[in-house]
Amino acid sequence: MEEADLISYGLVGLISAIERFDLSRDIKFETYAIMRIKGAIIDELRSLDWVPRSVRARAREVERANAKLEHQLQRAPTDKEIADEMGITVDELNESLLAISHSSIVALDELWTVSDSSGDQVSLMDTIEDHGAPDPAAALDLGDLKDRIADAIAQLPEREKLVIALYYYESLTLREIGEVLGVTESRVSQMHTKAVLRLRSRMQAESFDD
Burial class (CB in 10 A: 0-12, 13-18, 19+), 68: middle
Tell me: the pLDDT tens digits for 46-99?
A: 676 556 677 778 888 898 898 899 889 988 899 999 999 999 999 999 888 888
Tell me: the pLDDT tens digits for 148-186?
A: 778 888 888 999 999 988 988 888 888 899 999 999 998
The answer to whether residues 105 and 47 touch, using CB atoms and an 8 Å cutoff, is no
Instruction: Name the band, by pLDDT with cuts 50, 70 and 90, for residue 207.
Output: low
| E runs forming strands in 32-164 | 113-115, 121-123
Tell me: the pLDDT tens digits for 92-107?
A: 998 888 888 766 544 4
CB atoms within 10 A of CB 102: 12
Residue ranges and CATH numbers for the domains of the chain are 51-209 (1.20.140)
**Predicted pLDDT of residue 116:** 46
